[in-house]
Amino acid sequence: MPRFVLWIWKVCAIHFAIGMAAYLHFLITGSYRYVTWYFLILGTLFFLLTTAAEFCLALECRAGFEADEPMRMAWSFIALSSLARFVAAAMVSLDHWRGTSLPADIPSVLAVVFPRGLAQAGEVVGGPLSMIFLVVALSRVLQVQHRFGVLRGLTRTDFLLIGLIGAFTVGEIANIVGYLGPSYPTPSLTKAILWLSDPLLAVLLVQAVMIRRSVIRVGLGLVSQCWEMYVIAIVTTLAGDASIWALGVGLLSQPLIVLTWYIWFFAAAAYASAPAYQLAAMTLPHIPERAMRRR
Amino acid sequence: MDRQRALSEVDKGLSPSPILAVQSGEDRGIEELSRRMLSWSSLWFGSSGNCALAEVHLVRQRLLSWLERCIGLEARSVLTSRVEDVSLATSAPLLTAFLGRRAMRELSRRVLSDL
């Protein structure tokens, strides 16, 4: 396993272990105290760290390709997507601290500096905007894979999955159109943009199905593991999204609701690991034979 | 008589031997260059016709190892159905597309080192 990937998952494992300790405390005592601290401080730090790492690694990958190479554009958009998620994590956390008052009911300095609605803007930047960047990047990757015959061999199950996702997207779009009717109030711009999250996630899922097939075709290697990580990240994001939906319709008990919040850490770690694999593949030929044997 | 002798001496001095030497040197140079070109072309295209079979085999083995490590264990099957067809010519486009030109230059250097 490449060094950076190992680091990312080690940090994720330690972070998760601390989170589980906080969760156990919550289960035993019923108090949200430590769980809240964990998600607000360590959780935010983890998101900032992983998205920053992903951004830097994606920039390094981009630099490995020359201007006329097709994968350069893909890595430019992946870098933009990770930057959007980093900015979103920063905005959401700043909004939280903006709302926190000092003991004597004196408003926080951040409340004066930062405008209201920072969290909603963060949701837009980290949600639909970062997804659009990722869709563009993965489209380019699929285009290159198709050109080299890597993308052949989609099975019936793949087509069935793509069909199901397509049907789900059409249903979602029909729902959105329904909400635009005269019986509903006009949605705010932020809300309208956030509605795009599910259709965009569906597009990402279709891309993930296709990329997964290409990964199966070429077998495990550093580059294929990079794309496999994106598949894992997208599927984990879907799981997180599904848990939000389940929460909305009241399907989850309180302990389960808290447990679903941990899903997002795995998605963030998978997103950060992907460029780390690509960078490992690109730097491997530069590593001396002796050092490679030692690994 | 003296003049004739002198002329024959001059003729001897102007004998074509240095020109021939240059020409044969050029021929050898061209032959060497042509041999090398054929040898590199064999290594590039993976045919063993004009090159030592061992060298072509070594290049193929190294390429397969790089393809497996960098792209995927089954990456070879994407390029060609036969292992014997794996060469720098067949694998360079795929490796360049996914690793970039700079990494591919270094990879080619590693594949062709000591040959």
Q: B78 and A150 in contact by Cβ < 8 A?
A: yes
- Each as own residue / partner, the long-range contacts of residues A126-130 (CB below 8 Å, 24 or more positions apart, any chain) are A126/A84, A126/A85, A126/A87, A126/A88, A126/A89, A126/A91, A126/A92, A127/A88, A127/A194, A127/A197, A128/A193, A128/A194, A128/A196, A128/A197, A128/A200, A129/A84, A130/A80, A130/A81, A130/A82, A130/A84, A130/A85, A130/A88
Q: Which of B69, B73, B100 shows the shortest C-beta gap to A284?
A: B69
Q: Which domain holds residue B35?
A: 2-112
Q: B71 and A217 in contact by Cβ < 8 A?
A: no
Running DSSP on this structure, what letter comes out for residue B84? G
Using alpha carbons, select from B114, B102, B74 the residue that is nearest to residue A282.
B102
Percent of chain A with pLDDT strictly greater than 70: 92
The whole-angstrom separation of Cα A97 and Cα A108 is 8
CA atoms in the 13 A half-sphere facing the CB of A295: 12
The number of distinct structural domains making up chain A is 1
Q: B97 and A219 in contact by Cβ < 8 A?
A: no
Closest CA of chain B from A46, distance in Å: 29
Using a CB-CB cut-off of 8 Å, the residues of chain B touching A215 are: 72
Using a CB-CB cut-off of 8 Å, the residues of chain A touching B67 are: 221
Q: B75 and A221 in contact by Cβ < 8 A?
A: yes
Q: Give the alpha-carbon dihedral of A268, A269, A270, A272, to 10 degrees.
A: 90
Higher pLDDT, B86 or B4: B86
CB atoms within 10 A of CB A145: 25
Q: B69 and A219 in contact by Cβ < 8 A?
A: no
Q: A285 and B73 in contact by Cβ < 8 A?
A: no
The whole-angstrom separation of Cα B28 and Cα A29 is 91
Q: Which residue of B has its CA nearest to A215?
A: B72
Among A residues 105-144, those touching chain B with beta carbons less than 8 Å apart: 144
Running DSSP on this structure, what letter comes out for residue A101? P
Contact A206, A233 (CB under 8 A): no
A224 inside 8 A of chain B by CB: yes
Q: B72 and A70 in contact by Cβ < 8 A?
A: no
Q: A69 and B97 in contact by Cβ < 8 A?
A: yes
Note the pLDDT tens digit of each residue in A58-90. 999 999 999 999 999 999 999 999 999 999 999
∠ CA A151-A153-A156, nearest 5°, is 125
Query: Which pTM value belongs to this model?
Result: 0.82
Note the pLDDT tens digit of each residue in B80-111. 778 777 888 888 888 999 999 999 999 988 88
The number of distinct structural domains making up chain B is 1
Closest CA of chain B from A227, distance in Å: 11
Q: How many helices (H) and strands (E) does chain A have?
A: 14, 0
Calculate mean pLDDT across residues A114-121: 74
Running DSSP on this structure, what letter comes out for residue A285? G
- Going by pLDDT thresholds of 50, 70 and 90, the confidence category of residue A288 is confident
